[in-house]
Each structure stands twice: as C-alpha cells, then as structure tokens.
Amino acid sequence: MLITIVSVVLVLGGLIFFHELGHFSVARLFGMGVSTFSLGFGPKLWKRTWGKTEYALSLVPLGGYVALVGENDESEIPEGFTEAECFSLRPAWQRFCVVLAGPLANLLLAWLLYTGLALFWGTPVLLPEVGGVQQNSPAEKAGLLQGDRILSINGKPLASWEEMSQAVSASNGSPMDFEITRKEGERLTTLHVTLAAERSTRKTIFGEEEVAWLVGVRSSGHVEARQETLISACVSGIDQTWKMIALTCQGFAKLVERVVPADQVGGPIMIAQLVGEQAKQGLAGLLALTALISINLGILNLLPIPVLDGGTILFCLCEMLFRRPINKKFQEYAMRVGLTLLVALMIFATFNDVMRIIKA
C-alpha cells in the first residue's frame, strides 16, 4: 500500500507539475507575469520569492498550478506587476502559445521517458517466433510448428514480429519463401517452406473485425531488448511517442463511435491501481506507464472543451481568425458548461472504477 501511495503521488504529481512547467516557461519567455508557481495544492507548507514570483510547496502533492498575472481579468493585477505583464492583455497568438505549452510539455515528457527507457533498458522487440499454428491454415499446411523462428521472407531478413506481419500483408496472397530455424533435440535446423497468405478476418485491439492477409500463426510472446545508442534511443523515443499518440487518438475516436464500451473508461482509482501494479513490477514498467499517462493527459487537455486547455486554445484561434475577442459572457457560460461536463465525466469514470472493484 505504501509503495502504491508513493508511486501515485510521484507519477501524478510529476505529470501535472511538468504540465504547469510548460505554461510557466513559455509565459516567462514572453515576459508575462507569474505571481505563483506551486508544487501541490492547498495550504502552503513552504514558500520563497525569487524575482516577482512566489515558489511554493503545498500540502496536497498531486500536481501544481501556475497563477498568471491577469489570467482571467486584466483588472486583477497583483502588487508589483504591471499591465505589460498581464496575460489577458497580450496578443491572442502569445496566449495560444502559453496554453498550448502545457499539453506539449506532457508529450515532450513522454518522449524523454521513452528515450531513457530505450537508452538504459533497450527497445523491446517482439521476436518473429511462432507460438501457435491455426488448424487448416496455410502455415499448418506448409508444416510450420510451434517454436519455429522465422529468419527471412523471400530473402529479406526479419528482426521482429511486426516486420514479419508487414511482409505477409504486402504479399497480397503471392507465394512466399519462409526461411526458419527449428530446434530438433539439441540441434538447430534451418529449413525453407513455401506458403501463400489467405484473406481472412481478425480483431483489432479495439475489438473490431478487419480483413487482412494471414498465414495462421500467432506470436510466442518472446521479447528481446535491442540495445540503443543515444541517437538511436532518441529516434526510438520519437517513434514510440508517435505510436502512442496515434493509438490514444484512435482510442478517443472509437469511444465516441461507441466501438469501445463506455464502461471501459477509467478514472483516478484505475490509474492508481495500474501505477501500483507497475511499481511492484519494476522501474522500467512504471516509467513506460507514466509516459502513456502523460500522453493521455496531454491529448485530453487538447480537447476543445472550455475549462481544459483545448477550450482556451479554441477561443484564441477564433480571436485570431475573426480579429476580435470572444464575448466574455459567452466564455463564462461556456466555462460553466465545460466544468459541468468535466465533473460529470470524473464521476462517471470513478463509478466505473468502483463497479470494476465490486465485480472483481
């Protein structure tokens, strides 16, 4: 329980702090005033002022906040600051950049974490090794067996299961030469088999059926860590971050399309459970989960819902497009609606979490 509590505080607190650090850094870059930068919420346990900004450690360590000068009303300027430092009086494009910096900071953090994982733990590669063969499939008819390692297809060497799947998909049913190794007793034997993929259906990770060229094998699940240099780790980090961004956006879309059931939406309890489980498994798994949550936090904040960063970004874009600010009363009403939706979503997600615990 102690490991779970500490891990949740560090992960969620760190993610939200990094998000706010994005807002803070760009605001200061433009010379905007920041009255307070707090790590945590609630009563301040420690505070110190550098320049005009008060830096504080607060009682509740789950996140933090940045108080920009004149963020909501240009008339509310703290003592010691000027109108020139007021957020709401700055051009729309500068406010746009400050607000966008928070979600982008979360995506940047994900890249740094994935890069660190690749550099120190290596990039996990799912090996092209057969874990099972489907009955009456092209693979069974060709004589493939569980445990066979696929070395190449049509002379092209394979380093991963993904490369094997891509080669099969690209074949369009044409005959392929599989070079495999098979363990027979203490010996490894190299064999060549010829087979052609068949058009069939399979389920995606979202439970949808799709048509694809398949040979009827499943992965053994064996993973190998590929060691990386600093440069290759950075590239691997970009690749993994992009894949997770695409997967997360796809997940949101499938949720709206009702392909993913609404009861699969998780809240803070589910996140705490996942973080606690990964913390017990080891640091690498915890960092990978942290990167994924950071991506989800960044994309969630980009949704065009008032109260979230995406809502403010939308207002700024409209102001730049129409060359005049959005009516303040309209913004206030929109914020109330957005807050209501956000609270309702949190209640719904927490309800799902509780029901999962009860059913377990």
Return the active site residues.
20
Name the DSSP class of 132: E
CA distance 22 to 15: 11
Q: Is the dihedral of CA 184, 188, 193, 199 positive or negative?
A: positive
End-to-end CA distance of the chain: 19
CA dist list (Å): 133 to 139, 181, 280: 7, 16, 34
Query: Looking at this protein, which amino acid is placed at residue 253?
Result: A
- In three-state secondary structure terms, 16 is helix
Q: How many helices (H) and strands (E) does the chain have?
A: 9, 12
Residue with tokens 């729309």: 92
C-beta separation of 13 from 62 below 8 A: yes
Q: Are 9 and 61 in contact (CB under 8 A)?
A: yes
- Using DSSP's 3-state secondary structure scheme, residue 357 falls into helix
Maximum alpha-carbon separation in the chain: 82
Give the DSSP H/E element, type plus range, for residue 117.
helix 92-121
CA distance linking residue 353 with residue 265, whole number of Å: 8
Residue 89 token pair: 């009086």
Regarding beta strands 198-203 and 209-214, do their DSSP bridges make them parallel or antiparallel, or are they unpaired?
antiparallel
- Taking the CA atoms of the chain, what radius of gyration do you get in angstroms? 26
Tokens representing 88?
A: 């709401």
Q: How many CB atoms lie within 10 A of CB 103?
A: 25
* Residues in a beta bridge with 157: 152
